[in-house]
Structures are given as C-alpha cells and as structure tokens.
C-alpha cells in the first residue's frame, strides 16, 4: 500500500480513538470540578470523592452489583464449562443446532428477553425477585462462556486426554489434570466476560430486580434521569481506572479483544502473511 493511503488509514484510527476517549477523559477531568453538572468555570476540588466515600448511595449499589455479578459469573462458568465439554461429544449437526439456540439470548434484544422472562415468571406467580434476576442474567452471559471455552476445545490437542486414559487415569482425573488446564484460558476469559456483561447489564436488572433493590446500572440510570450529582463523575473515573487495570492485566495474560468475542484465535496466531 502506498504511504499516503496508510497515513489516511492511520489518521482515521486516531480520529476514532479520539472520539472514543474525549468523553471519558472529560468525565475524569470533571470529577475534580466544583460545579456538579460538569460545567464551567473549572474549579479544582476533590469534594466529590469525599461525597462518594461518605454520603453517596453509589458505593452500596456498586458493591451489590459486584457480589451479584460474581455469583452469576461463577454459575455461568460451571454450567458453561460443563456445556462446552458435553458439546464436544455431540454430532456436528446437533452441535450446530445447539449452538444456534445458545446464541439466541445474545441475538434477541435484551429488552425483549427481559420482558419475556418477566412474563414467564409473572405467569408462574413469582414476578421480580433475586432468583429471577439471577436466572435472567445467567442466560445472557452463558453463551459467552460456552463460546470462549468451546474455542479452546477446538484449538486444543485432545490426544493427551486419550493417552492419560490409556495409561489408566480415571475420567475425573483426566478431566482435572489434563482437560481443565488445557481449557483454562477459555474459562478465565469467559469468566471475565460474564462478570463484565452482568455487571453492566442495565436492561435485565431494570426489569427483573426485586422492587426497591437497585443495582449499580439501575442507580446510575435513576441518577441521570433525576438530575445527577458529580459523585457520579467520581465513580465513573474510578470505574474507568479499574477497567484500565483489568484490561491491561488481561492483555498481559494474552487475551486480545478478538478472543473476547470468540472471533479470532488470539493475537498469537496469525493467518496468511
């Protein structure tokens, strides 16, 4: 490719990144600003971090969301890993069908998913509650785990398992000592993905959370609607900081963005060239 063309592409990338990061950087800047609506003039203060640490209802909501997402992620990991393992023994045709149904919770808009689950449980007489919110979030994150662990199974060499079995290891031992280490990267990435998708899933929690229980996304939504205070800016800044740390750690561990979506086999392998 010619130099000019390459530079044009590079500039496009820079513009896109600027577009993505100007609001984020602005919000971090505004978290140190005295006026509460993120407006000018700019007066430096750390008061919003103090508010966040003392009177704000955001940390409680945040903590609830963390606990809840961790619970959902662990459940999704266990069930998802079992599913991927089982899927390896399906006939290709059945596996394809199963995977299609598995993808439905991602493909159907979350609004429709939440409504239909709410209808089902209203019909069954329970309505909004913690178990329903748990199940709803679980079914939405499960496909990510299955997809990512599946990818590992496909990439992995499965002959050591057969060897272990021949050498006399029981099925449990083979799974724990040979299979599990092999699919571990997929499990870790899947768990991370499940945690994040659940932590941010506003729509499902908005519809399925028990009455008067507000997870972080729901609290943020209410805040934005009803005139917000700048402790939200402070929380945003902290969450962005945590996100940076997580992403850097994950990348160091060797996960690329593509592998998070189960589309590329990671940055280590490159086709073509």
Helices marked H in the chain — which ranges?
A: 3-30, 47-54, 58-87, 92-107, 110-123, 130-155, 159-166, 171-174, 180-199, 202-208, 216-225, 231-252, 257-260
Q: Binding to other proteins by residue 46, rule CB under 8 A?
A: no
Among 32, 48, 49, 199, binds other proteins (CB under 8 A): 199
Q: Report residue 96 as tokens.
A: 């394809």
Q: Binding to other proteins by residue 53, rule CB under 8 A?
A: no
The footprint of other proteins on residues 82-101 (CB under 8 A) is 82-83, 85-91, 98, 101
Burial of 134 (0-12, 13-18, 19+ CB in 10 A): middle
The footprint of other proteins on residues 120-139 (CB under 8 A) is 120, 122-123, 125-127, 135-136, 138-139
The Cα–Cα gap between 85 and 248 comes to 29
The Cα–Cα gap between 30 and 42 comes to 8
Q: Binding to other proteins by residue 210, rule CB under 8 A?
A: no
Asked if 141 and 72 count as a contact pair (C-beta separation under 8 A), the reply is yes
Among 52, 58, 73, 117, binds other proteins (CB under 8 A): 117
Residue with tokens 């513009």: 15
Number of residues that bind other proteins (CB under 8 A): 101
Nearest approach in angstroms of CB 264 to other proteins is 4
Among 105, 185, 186, 190, binds other proteins (CB under 8 A): 105
Of 90 and 130, which CB lies nearer to other proteins in the complex structure?
A: 90
Of 45 and 264, which CB lies nearer to other proteins in the complex structure?
A: 264
Calculate Rg over the CA atoms of the chain: 23
Q: Binding to other proteins by residue 233, rule CB under 8 A?
A: yes
Among 45, 202, 213, 229, binds other proteins (CB under 8 A): 202
Q: Binding to other proteins by residue 224, rule CB under 8 A?
A: yes
Q: Report residue 263 as tokens.
A: 């589309």
Among 109, 168, 227, 268, binds other proteins (CB under 8 A): 109
């Amino acid at each position: 490719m010619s130099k000019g063309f390459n530079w044009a592409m590079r500039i496009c990338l820079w513009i896109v990144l600027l577009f993505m990061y100007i609001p984020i950087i602005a919000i971090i800047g505004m978290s140190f600003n005295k006026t509460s609506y993120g407006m000018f003039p700019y007066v430096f203060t750390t008061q919003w971090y103090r508010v966040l640490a003392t009177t704000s209802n955001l940390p409680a909501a945040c903590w609830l969301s963390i606990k809840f997402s961790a619970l959902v992620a662990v459940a999704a990991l266990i069930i998802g890993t079992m599913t991927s393992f089982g899927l390896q023994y399906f006939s290709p045709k059945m596996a394809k069908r199963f995977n299609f149904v598995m993808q439905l919770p991602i493909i159907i808009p979350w609004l429709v998913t939440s409504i239909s689950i709410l209808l089902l449980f209203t019909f069954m007489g329970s309505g909004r509650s913690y178990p329903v919110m748990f199940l709803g979030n679980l079914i939405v994150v499960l496909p990510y785990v299955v997809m990512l662990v599946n990818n590992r199974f496909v990439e992995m060499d499965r002959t050591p398992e057969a060897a272990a079995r021949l050498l006399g290891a029981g099925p449990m031992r083979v799974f724990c000592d040979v299979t599990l280490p092999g699919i571990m990267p997929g499990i870790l990435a899947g768990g991370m993905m499940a945690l994040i998708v659940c932590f941010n899933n506003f729509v499902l929690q908005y519809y399925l959370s028990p009455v008067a229980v507000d997870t972080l996304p729901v609290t943020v939504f209410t805040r934005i609607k009803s005139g917000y205070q700048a402790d939200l800016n402070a929380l945003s800044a902290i969450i962005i900081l945590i996100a940076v740390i997580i992403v850097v750690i994950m990348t160091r561990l060797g996960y690329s963005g593509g592998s998070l979506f189960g589309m590329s086999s990671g940055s280590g392998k490159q086709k073509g060239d």
